[in-house]
């Protein structure tokens, strides 16, 4: 083997050794970096709750009444008079004409129905009208509903609080309390996360992700629908650090 060949082999071997060492160091650095990256990804996900009770600020009050007659024209006249009586009752209670909206009469011909015994119907035509009150004066609605018997004494047959004619109480000022409730929910979430970090011998880091959650507005209970419960649950993820 010539001296030139020997030198070439030695150089190649040295280069190969250095390359192997370099790859090993690179692999170690990559592995160490991945471990460090994984360590920074330790997180805790917590939920924070905020609740408030608020008074409804809007009322939608439907008043439905019905009548029956063998003569269709007489039935329409009766319903028209009853609409005027209901409107007068509401205006006397303090509602304005803009608050009151009557619907068109809904009439059925009982003898034209495809079920039941038409001959057994005493009166051929039956109809109903719904007068709806839309107002911001919730207390006035609650007071007036207690005096609906006055309409019954006038011979007006009121339909009960069944589906479709139930008084609705609404809360429309959610945007006014949203920021404070989100702040409260986030603060509660941080308190929970801090306790978790303490129990796991860690410290709470920065927020990784945050979701304010959906606001819900429900009746406080079935007996007080004019009192609402507003609720939001925020979900927050925090980094944990040693």
Mark whether 222 and 190 lie in a shared domain: yes
Same domain as 71, residue 159: yes
* pLDDT value of position 41: 67
Domain boundary among 149, 169, 189: 169
- Residue 8's domain spans which residues? 1-41
pLDDT at residue 33 in the model: 44
Residues of the chain with pLDDT under 70: 1-41, 114-121, 161-163
Largest Cα span, the chain: 130
Confidence at residue 162, expressed as pLDDT on a 0 to 100 scale: 65
According to the 3-state scheme, what is the secondary structure of 162-221? CCCCCCEEECCCHHHHHHHHHHHHHHHHHHHHHHHHHHCCCEEEEEEEEECCCCEEEECC
What pLDDT score does 104 carry? 95
- How many angstroms separate the CA atoms of 209 and 239, rounded? 9
Residues 6+ apart with CB under 8 A from 239: 40, 41, 42, 43, 204, 205, 206, 207, 208
Q: How many domains are contained in the chain? A: 3
Which helix (H) or strand (E) segment is 14 a member of?
helix 3-40
123-158 pLDDT tens trace = 899 999 999 999 999 999 999 999 999 999 999 999
pLDDT value, residue 35: 43
pLDDT number for residue 110: 86
């Amino acid at each position: 083997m010539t001296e030139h060949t020997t030198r070439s082999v030695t150089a190649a071997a040295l280069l190969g050794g250095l390359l192997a060492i370099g790859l090993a160091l690179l692999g170690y650095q990559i592995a160490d970096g991945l471990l460090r990256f994984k360590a920074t990804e330790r997180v805790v996900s917590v939920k924070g709750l905020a609740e408030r009770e608020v008074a409804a600020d809007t009322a939608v009050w439907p008043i439905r009444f019905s009548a029956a007659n063998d003569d269709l024209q007489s039935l329409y006249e009766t319903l028209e008079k009853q609409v005027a009586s209901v409107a007068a009752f509401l205006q006397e209670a303090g509602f304005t004409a803009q608050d009151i909206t009557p619907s068109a009469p809904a009439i059925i011909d009982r003898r034209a129905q495809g079920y039941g015994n038409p001959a057994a119907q005493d009166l051929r035509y039956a109809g109903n009208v719904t007068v709806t009150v839309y107002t911001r004066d919730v207390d006035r609605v609650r007071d007036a509903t207690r005096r609906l018997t006055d309409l019954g004494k006038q011979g007006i047959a009121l339909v009960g609080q069944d589906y479709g004619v139930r008084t609705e109480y609404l809360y429309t000022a959610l945007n006014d309390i949203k920021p404070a409730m989100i702040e409260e929910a986030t603060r509660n979430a941080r308190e929970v996360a801090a306790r978790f970090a303490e129990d796991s011998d860690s410290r709470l880091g920065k927020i990784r992700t945050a979701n304010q959650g959906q606001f819900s507005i429900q009746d406080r209970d079935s007996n007080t629908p004019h009192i609402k419960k507003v609720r939001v649950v925020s979900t927050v993820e925090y980094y944990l650090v040693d």
